[in-house]
Amino acid sequence: MTDARDTGLTLNPKYDAHGLITAVVTDVASGDVLMVAHMNAQALALTVETGLAHFWSRSRQSLWKKGETSGHMLEVRDLRIDCDQDAVWVKAVPAGPTCHTGARSCFFRRVGADGLMAVDAAD
């Protein structure tokens, strides 16, 4: 059964018990997944208002403007919310590496039968 949240055009995020929704970030040019993070209401509002990705850091328990210290900000080009409004998709232009390790994407390892292996940047 669907309701207005599922099919309507009113933004009404369905935050979890911790006040968060999942945010998947992709590179607008390549479509590559860059990172997965979480947003609270303030982070989502700031992202919409500024055009720069903001998140909620669960480890630091604080608002986080991506790239604020590194300069590797994420310029939002498209922001979408899923059907039941509990996850957002951020299509962005990265100003540098997205991962805190310095990798272009947080998804720089492949899981295989023999364990983890590095992914070539061209993969």
**Binding-site residue set:** 82-84, 86, 99, 106
DSSP 68: T
Secondary structure (DSSP) of 52-79: B-EEEETTTTEEEETTTTTS--EEEEEE
Angle at 80 between CA 40 and CA 106, to 5 degrees: 70
Q: Tokens for 64? A: 């986080």
**Binding-site residue set for Zn(2+):** 83, 99, 106
**Binding-site residue set for Mg(2+):** 82, 84, 86
Angstrom distance (rounded) from CA 37 to CA 45: 15
